[in-house]
Amino acid sequence: MDIQNTNTLGALKAAGYTYKGIKEELRSNLIQLKKENQETFTGVHGYEKTVIPQLERAILSKHNINLLGLRGQAKTRLARQMINLLDEYIPVVAGSEINDDPLKPISRFAKELIAEQGDKTPITWLHRSERFAEKLATPDVTVADIIGDIDPIKAANLKLSYADDRVIHYGMIPRANRCIFVINELPDLQARIQVALFNILQEGDIQIRGFKLRFDLDMQFVFTANPEDYTNRGSIITPLKDRIGSQILTHYPDSIEIAKTITQQEAKLEAAQSETIYVPELAKNLLEQIGFEARESEYVDVKSGVSARLSISAYENLMSTAELRMLTSGESSTAIRLSDFMGIIPAINGKIELVYEGEQEGAATVAEILLKDAVKTLFDDYFPTIEKLTRKTDTTPYDDIVKWFLQGTDFELANDLTNKEYEQQLNYIEPLAALLTEYQPDLNPKDVPFFKEFVLWALAEYKKLSKVELSEGYGFKDTFESFIDGI
């Protein structure tokens, strides 16, 4: 007999069903997955040896959990993935507002229905996808919202006095009985509302307008919080923190490779973009490095965090910038250029909080600074270091490129160049090809134009060349020529 086909209490008992609390449910299913050597949390990268083991230990300990970390660190995603550790279906007394278990009812409605109908009590089945409730903590949240309140309309319709507990309208938490309940941004919850959670977390009972209801609520609580919120907008009061079993610290990716994996997984691209736009691996690395630079920048409030969503949005903008250029030129395919990175500035502007110095510079200027810093940081991974100061007798791998510009040749890269024109323009600088042949001999031919432009940008950042912004692109000049032009 398939237990999920049962629809009465008697049939459920005959099928051998036994009650199991949600924390035991999570624990036993986690144990089974570990025995089968299966992943417990998928699509969350960089946490395999840090956050996920801590989360698994908390589940095995049957703890309520607080995920503490800066924005964009997959806290909510981890919480939502916990539903995969629940049983696929659980039985519920039909008509129950709070998902009463047929063998362990807690509401007056369920108890009276079972007392009246016995084994004929109807039951329904609740899928695990419906056993997740989430509430964003905002200052306007009330006890009535999350716990419950007296419902005057119900009292009038049922002709009941306010002394009868049947006039109660249950809030979000009782209605999420036997579910995972997530409260996001917990410090934003007013202190008096946090106090209302004490007994629910510890004793399981709730109080509504003088009614003391000994509800043995069966809940798995997961809270999320930003550590800066403890001082900026509010705080998690100490007695509540004391009742949360495990506090787990999340973090940002610690390598470009992990960051790239996250961006490629999360970026929402059209199939046509992926098919027609070639993205050099260096371009992907450069995009991620911008996020790393932002987290260390003197212009950015690093305590506020730099979300992984910065790279995701920036990558989407980067692809759209190349796509727009391709459509304008009437071509059917193209490749990312370094100049396309100017198109990601709007995606960066809204993702970083600036300190006073950053506000003085302006969001767009700070975004450009982050891009330039990323170019400088990555350059040493591919080419010899560009020394800031050299003696006249010293030779460097970049001398021939600088001499090419010393001849006074104007060099411009317009934004609307076709693929062929773009490559031809870069090919004019013959010493660039020689540099790549010596230090990057195994380059994919598709990557060569991007690397050439990358070298020019780096030389400009190290003051060996001067980069000049034009109305429809930019150009490079010898630094002395630029100085004379300025005079």
List, for residues 442-456, the tens digit of each pLDDT value.
999 999 999 999 999
Residues of the chain with CATH 1.10.10: 384-487
Strand spans (E) along 384-439? 411-414
- Its pTM stands at 0.86
Query: Closest Cα to residue 201, out of 188, 187, 185, 183?
Result: 183
Residues of the chain with CATH 1.10.8.80: 252-381
CB 265 within 8 A of CB 257: no
Residues of the chain with CATH 3.40.50.300: 3-145+173-249
Return the structure tokens found at 20. 């199991």
Q: Which residues of the chain register pLDDT less than 50?
A: 1, 230-232, 482-487
Helices (H), 62-171: 75-81, 108-117, 143-146, 152-158
What percentage of the chain exceeds 90 in pLDDT? 65
Q: Which helix (H) or strand (E) holds 220?
A: strand 220-225
Asked if the 3-145+173-249 domain carries CATH number 3.30.390.50, the reply is: no
**Rounded to whole angstroms, what are the CA distances from 478 to 412, 466, 482?**
13, 6, 6
Measured distance CA(18)–CA(219) in Å, rounded: 18
- Residue identified by tokens 């990358």 is 454
Measured distance CA(253)–CA(230) in Å, rounded: 23
Could you tell me the CATH superfamily of domain 252-381?
Magnesium chelatase subunit I, C-Terminal domain (1.10.8.80)
Q: What is the pLDDT of residues 73-86, one digit of tens each?
A: 999 999 999 999 99
Tell me the chain's radius of gyration from C-alpha atoms.
31
Residue 162's pLDDT is 56
- Residue identified by tokens 């579910």 is 179
Residue 231's pLDDT is 45
Helices (H), 295-391: 309-329, 345-349, 356-361, 363-379
Residue 202's pLDDT is 73
Measured distance CA(418)–CA(427) in Å, rounded: 14
Measured distance CA(12)–CA(3) in Å, rounded: 7
Length of the chain: 487
CATH topology of domain 384-487: Arc Repressor Mutant, subunit A (1.10.10)
Residue 484's pLDDT is 45
Cross-strand bridge partners of residue 136: 184
